[in-house]
Structure 1
């Protein structure tokens, strides 16, 4: 029965995909923008007002880097909805949870208390990796999160790190993997209240609307417009997914890159981040006019 239901869900996604209309003018503009990029890139854009899309390498698999935190959030909120976790419950931080880096949570002293909701905030707002790996475990591990992604019809979006059986995928893609279409569609489902239920989706959307890392795609969108987003970056890959709503515009988009030549970390000059800004400006100018 479960296999039959999953087949029906996947068939619905496929049928919906073929039914979507391409925004031909915007497709040409985005295609031209991507020319000459030193690396592999995929883009998926959907106008939520009329359903038209732009899709380039939309089903190719890319590393998520920190975008994997959206599936992790989904796993956490599913536990919250079932009463197995409470966003206001106190957790005890232990030194064994530390993921070396510059995270805020990693600076805590052993045995300090922190609310679950604040750990979630750190994962999404600051992209705190210590918080994220703790939450991945609390959500039931990558195996359970992957099962949830599978139940939603996402065949490529997976947690790889600390997930038995996915060692080869981790070696290739890192912490997680996805496609531009699937990550953008996950964001769209959150917007539409289709992840878990409307209440939990609304909580997720508010949490995703507080991103500290706003120098890339978000920087090209007026500050009085609502944006929910999550980015991800490692040396060879920079990616970002956004929902944008305001000034007559309502759309989602995801840009993924991999095998990039410019692996610098200068926010102003890195080629992939500069491409992300240019794409975001192109889309905003297109949808808000």
Structure 2
């Protein structure tokens, strides 16, 4: 095991990466160069699952998740559906006073209104709807999500509280630093990998017959992510609303933060990309925000290196198999 430390002046980047046997050192150097040009900080981890190739920049550094932490809420929902403790069609009521601002559409809807659990999760994922997220936190509980995070063996990932609502219990000392949630690039990659591989059972436990159906529901949400200016930016050549997508992702954004975690169905094998930018100088909310473009450039370099033939835009199914998915994207029924 060799440790590579890289320190750059200017847009202060400090990257320390444990270089294991699976590290693609050529790509590592290329990504380090891209990250050094960013006016802010970059932490990331990526792996091609069929080859074991990896790259990373500060992959184990705790970072602000912004909305990427919603992946852990989705995973807890999947586990509770699996256990029969939750159901996709159960009613979730949006009550007066529940709405919060930020991303999403529920804040514009009249309350009371009733959604299904699947509706609320879908809004939480594809629009990063903050109100829907709070409804899901009410439904499952912060403690349950954090217990599931611990169950997965993750040490530096934590959901703190509801969005834009006061905490109802004492907060950990590091909550002001991280806000909604914290994670590391490697740990959030593990969450996305579990969803992609459909690993809902604990180690040593068998899969259940309904697991694939549960994972298919979650992947359909993630494939239809509305915010596509980060990892998908330079990779997709098809209209994902009509053709479906070979990228399943969850984004997260704050003024000085841009994040994206994705499964990418490369033609030469599936990849997990977990990319976080923070302390960004560019606080703009445009498609050309530097954090978003930096993530896109990193993703493009990874995919071009590991899957020169590109991505399979119509295929992404539970277990990370590459077989056609019926139904296409959200607009497939037009």
Q: Is 1:208 matched up with 2:230?
A: no
- Count of paired positions: 271
* Residues 171-227 of structure 1 deviation map (CA, whole Å, 9 limit, x = unaligned): 101101110101112111211111345433333222211100112211211345511
* Equivalent residue, structure 2, for 1:285: 304
Q: Is 1:218 matched up with 2:232?
A: yes
* Equivalent residue, structure 2, for 1:150: 150
* Equivalent residue, structure 2, for 1:64: 65
| Contact 1:47–1:252 under 8 Å retained in 2 | yes
* Equivalent residue, structure 1, for 2:27: 26
Cα distance in structure 1, aligned partners of 2:133 and 2:261: 18
| Contact 1:190–1:202 under 8 Å retained in 2 | no
> Cα–Cα, structure 1 residues 179 and 102, in superposed 2: closer, same or farther, change >3 Å?
closer
Structure 1 residue 78, shift from structure 2 partner: 1.9
* Equivalent residue, structure 1, for 2:12: none
| Contact 2:103–2:127 under 8 Å retained in 1 | no
What secondary structure is seen at the aligned counterpart in 2 of 1:55? strand
**Deviating more after overlay: 96-105 vs 34-43:** 96-105
* Residues 51-77 of structure 1 deviation map (CA, whole Å, 9 limit, x = unaligned): 110011000011010101100111222
| Contact 2:250–2:260 under 8 Å retained in 1 | yes
Cα distance in structure 2, aligned partners of 1:79 and 1:217: 29
Cα distance in structure 2, aligned partners of 1:101 and 1:239: 16
| Contact 2:75–2:195 under 8 Å retained in 1 | no
| Contact 2:235–2:300 under 8 Å retained in 1 | yes
Q: Is 1:192 matched up with 2:212?
A: no
Higher helix share: 1
CA RMSD of aligned residues (A): 1.9
- In the alignment, structure 1 segments of 5+ residues that lack a partner are 1-16
Structure 1 residue 19, shift from structure 2 partner: 6.5
Structure 1 residue 23, shift from structure 2 partner: 0.8
| Contact 1:64–1:175 under 8 Å retained in 2 | yes
Structure 1 residue 102, shift from structure 2 partner: 5.4
> Cα–Cα, structure 1 residues 105 and 265, in superposed 2: closer, same or farther, change >3 Å?
same
TM-score normalized by structure 2?
Answer: 0.76
5 Å matches for 1:59-98? Answer: 59-98=60-99
TM-score normalized by structure 1?
Answer: 0.88
Cα distance in structure 2, aligned partners of 1:27 and 1:19: 12
Structure 1 residue 149, shift from structure 2 partner: 0.5
Q: Is 1:262 matched up with 2:282?
A: yes
